[in-house]
């Protein structure tokens, strides 16, 4: 039976409580405190220093949505709650903690300003922009980079299975964070070398590795490495069309004629079906200056900056690799 409109509105208007409960449970390390043995809220509250009844109510809500499972008075892990563990290779704990950073949570109060003016609310952040805020708050910057590592760990296997990176001798990951994707690509392709390019504070924290060069800089200021392939993974969605065109132009200026540009992004579905890429689009609108885009929007933007979109490859998890050539 279709959902009644009353239930639709109740679910959406109160949906923030579910997000917030997930963020708080991730912040408090509850999934780390739960091992293979079922544990009651009392036991979990003792090991996490929390209030048993309140914790139980959060876990009851989350378990109704598949994050943890309630078994009598105890809780056990599900595949989703396992992703909140710090030691999970695809850990999304930092991702959830990051969504709950207090200054980010605060600027959602300004969403009406964004909707009225078309301007991001990021000026309300300490530092005045998303990136300045992270650069100025080392602990939050570290959690953000960890969040990207978790996200990218989930995507890397799909990208490696879907696309042959072995044809490139040198690969630049532009805005590559701490290099999770590039490290996976180099491990799978022993004859390739890589250049990890990101802001100075991010590069300062990146671990060196064989066949990996670390290069600090800004993709708005040119001086990008010269390579056979350029990866831009979840970069353009952070920026407006004008800013994205500047980044693409920086790459286009230094790229060899036979280079490939590999844009990796979450695409907005053509048919407007529910998708978390539409939720992320709201984050990009309020917290940054960016947006999630359709394949057609990327095709046009690439054409405007001297690239030709050759194909879009589905790599799973709503992740698409857009392979483009220098036009
Ligand atoms: C959303 S994260 C994506 C990280 C990585 N590509 C991934 O998907 O895991 C965006 C990255 O862009 C970097 N960044 C932001 N502004 C930059 C700039 N002006 N120049 C170079 N990198 C920048 C950030 O430091 C961050 O690592």
Buried b (16+ CB within 10 A) or exposed e, 23-32: bbbbebbbbb
How many angstroms separate the Cα of 164 from the Cα of each of 46, 47, 158, 167, 208?
50, 46, 11, 7, 24
SS3 content of the chain, % helix, strand, coil (to 5): 50, 15, 30
pLDDT for residue 188 is more than 90? yes
Q: Which one has a higher pLDDT value, 240 or 273?
A: 240
237 is catalytic: yes
Of the CA atoms within 13 Å of residue 251, those in its CB half-sphere come to: 33
Ligand 1 centroid to residue 13 C-alpha, Å: 32
Scanning the chain, the segments in alpha helix (DSSP H) are 5-13, 15-27, 30-33, 41-48, 52-64, 79-82, 93-99, 102-107, 111-117, 130-136, 138-162, 180-188, 200-205, 241-254, 276-287, 295-304
Residues of the chain with pLDDT > 90, as a percent, come to 97
Give the number of the atom of ligand 1 that is nearest the alpha carbon of residue 151: 9
Note the pLDDT of residue 49: 98
Beta strands in the chain (DSSP E): 39-40, 69-71, 74-76, 170-174, 193-198, 212-216, 229-233, 260-266, 307-314, 319-326
pLDDT for residue 202 is more than 90? yes
Tens digit of each residue's pLDDT (9 = 90 or more) over 156-179:
999 999 999 999 999 999 999 999
Ligand 1 centroid to residue 233 C-alpha, Å: 8
In testing the pocket of ligand 1, which one of 127, 235, 265, 319 has its CB within 8 Å of the most ligand atoms?
Answer: 235
Pair of tokens at residue 280 = 């992320």
Give the number of the atom of ligand 1 that is nearest the alpha carbon of residue 145: 27
pLDDT for residue 222 is more than 90? no
Q: Which domains does the chain possess?
A: 5-88 (1.10.10.10), 103-326 (3.40.50.150)
Whole-prediction pTM: 0.95
- The CA distance from 325 to 327, in Å, is 6
């Amino acid at each position: 039976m279709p959902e009644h409109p009353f239930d639709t509105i109740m679910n959406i208007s109160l949906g923030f409580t579910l997000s917030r409960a997930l963020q708080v449970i991730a912040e408090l390390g509850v999934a780390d405190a739960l091992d293979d043995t079922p544990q009651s809220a009392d036991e979990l509250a003792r090991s996490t220093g929390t209030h048993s009844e309140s914790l139980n109510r959060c876990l009851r809500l989350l378990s109704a949505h598949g994050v943890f499972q309630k078994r009598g008075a105890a809780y056990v892990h599900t595949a989703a709650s396992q992703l909140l563990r710090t030691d999970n290779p695809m850990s999304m704990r930092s991702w959830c903690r990051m969504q709950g950073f207090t200054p980010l949570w605060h600027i959602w109060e300004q969403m009406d300003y964004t909707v009225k003016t078309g301007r991001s609310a990021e000026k309300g952040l300490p530092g005045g922009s998303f990136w300045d805020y992270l650069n100025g708050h080392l602990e939050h910057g570290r959690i953000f980079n960890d969040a990207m590592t978790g996200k990218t760990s989930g995507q890397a296997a799909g990208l490696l299975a879907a696309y042959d990176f072995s044809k490139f001798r040198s690969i630049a990951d532009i805005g590559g964070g701490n290099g999770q994707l590039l490290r996976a690509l180099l491990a799978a392709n022993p004859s390739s070398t890589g250049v990890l390019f990101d802001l100075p504070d991010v590069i300062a924290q990146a671990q060196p590795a064989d066949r990996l060069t670390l290069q600090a800089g800004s993709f708005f200021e040119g001086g990008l490495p010269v390579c056979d392939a350029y990866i831009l993974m979840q970069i353009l969605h952070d920026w407006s069309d004008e800013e994205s065109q500047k980044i693409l132009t920086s790459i286009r200026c230094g790229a060899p004629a036979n280079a490939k540009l590999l844009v990796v992004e979450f695409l907005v579905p053509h048919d407007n079906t529910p998708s978390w890429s539409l939720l992320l689009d709201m984050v990009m609108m309020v917290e940054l200056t960016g947006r999630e885009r359709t394949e057609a929007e990327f095709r046009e933007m690439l054409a405007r900056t001297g690239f030709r979109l050759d194909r879009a490859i589905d790599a799973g998890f709503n992740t698409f690799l857009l392979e483009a050539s220098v036009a």
